[in-house]
Structure 1
């Protein structure tokens, strides 16, 4: 499967994400942002990301949109682990808290998200962006609408 291929609609969200972890064939967005899904389990997902100068803003640090995209991707995958076959979702709200600057000296970042509430039509989740020593760089939460595919 190449990066532009659609998900297998015969699998649950968790089954699909476990396949992604085992045989990375991520999205064009993930490739562009140099991040990848490395773990998925019921109600949780983890991405790794490698920020660098190509993501810098005019202040010579990684643009805030990088952390926002990382959080949204992680939150979305955590939510997807709770969805059955034939169910889709979309972000309807994203809240990001920036704790400290991200630049190329940070190295590998990890972002782990957890579902807080899984309702019939809406899910909420939270996630943290940390370095390999557990130092917090950003955290956020999201609300996701569920719909049939």
Structure 2
């Protein structure tokens, strides 16, 4: 058995709730992408980030890099890695449409895995976009695509409930 270690760090400074209450969702997402607000610790844990140049109203792009740290017992990338990237992209796409002091939560997540994602797949691109914005429920879809090969590895949908207060 060979061993590896992985070290990473993250900012544990909480974002001031009073500041969050004044910012529309798209501003929060853009400030995180620019490094003006700390990203969630999950981003550091999985090694994912927002593509700052690809944040718009109802749409965001994340990037991630699979590797040995996210393998399942069969030696392929665990589906939870792809599902988390998709959930993040779709949720943040919803967040870009929300006014200040309005939050959201994923109430349903569906992922279709189309082919195995391997540890050496390289950078993956995860696109999230809102396809329906209702009064309390938003529906988003996501696509996980290999940057090098352009192949679609997974597709997902998420239903998010919006609510006053973060």
The TM-score bracket by the shorter chain reads over 0.9
CA positional deviation for 1:37 = 1.2
Structure with bigger gyration radius: 2
Matches within 5 A, 1:17-32: 17-23=29-35, 25-32=38-45
CA RMSD of the aligned region, Å?
1.5
Match of 1:35 in 2: 48
1:63 correspondence with 2:78: yes
CA positional deviation for 1:2 = 3.0
Matches within 5 A, 1:89-108: 89-108=104-123
- Choose the corresponding residue for 2:88, options 44, 48, 73: 73
The total of aligned residue pairs comes to: 149
CA positional deviation for 1:9 = 2.1
Matches within 5 A, 1:39-58: 39-58=54-73
Matches within 5 A, 1:5-24: 5-6=14-15, 8-23=20-35
- Choose the corresponding residue for 1:124, options 139, 154, 163: 139
Match of 2:4 in 1: none
Structure with the higher strand share, 1 or 2: 1
